[in-house]
Copies of this chain bind each other. A is one copy, B any other.
Amino acid sequence: MDERFLQEAAEMLKVMGHPVRIKIAQSLEAGELKVGDIAKALGLTQSVTSQHLKAMRVRGLLSARRKAACVFYSIERPEIYKIIDCIRESSRRYGENDEPVDTLGRS
C-alpha cells in the first residue's frame, strides 16, 4: 500500500473519529449550512464548532464559501456517508453486545 495514501487515509479516519465531527457531517447531508446553524443544531459554542469545521476543511472533507457575513460549509467528500453506512452495517452484524469481549482464552 502506497505510503502517501496510507497517511492520508489515517488522517481522514482520525478526523472523522470524533462524535461531534460525525454529527457535523450528518447535519450537512441535506446541503450546505452556515456555521451558526450548525452550532445551534448541535448545541455547541461558536468557537468549538468553528474549530471542528476547520479540522475537517483543512483535510479536504468540507468546503466553505462566504455569503455576506456568513460562511456556508458543505461536504466535499460524500464517501463519508458510505463509510458511516459501512460501520452501521458492521455494528448490526457484529451484534448488540454491550461491550466487545476482551479475553484471550487460555488453551
Interfacial residues, chain A to chain B (CB-CB below 8 A):
1, 5-19, 22-23, 26, 57-60, 64-68, 71, 76-77, 79, 82-84, 86-91, 93-94, 100, 102, 104-107
| A40 CB, min distance to chain B CBs, angstroms | 17
* Interface residue from B15, B60, B90 paired with A94 (Cβ < 8 Å): B60
Q: Across the interface, do A18 and B9 meet the contact criterion of CB distance under 8 Å?
A: no
Q: How far is the CB of A32 from chain B (nearest CB, A)?
A: 14
- Report if A12-B79 is in contact (Cβ < 8 Å); known contacts: A57-B102, A59-B100, A66-B107: no
**Which residues of chain B come closer than 8 Å to A84, judged between CB atoms?**
9
A12-B89 Cα distance, complex, nearest whole Å: 13
Q: How many identical chains are in the complex? A: 2
* A94 proximity list for chain B (CB < 8 A): 60, 76-77
- B60 contacts A107, CB within 8 Å? no
26 contacts across the A-B interface (CB closer than 8 A): A1-B23, A5-B91, A6-B22, A8-B91, A9-B84, A9-B88, A10-B16, A11-B17, A13-B13, A13-B16, A13-B17, A13-B87, A14-B14, A14-B17, A14-B18, A17-B17, A59-B100, A60-B94, A60-B100, A66-B107, A71-B104, A76-B94, A77-B90, A79-B90, A83-B86, A83-B87
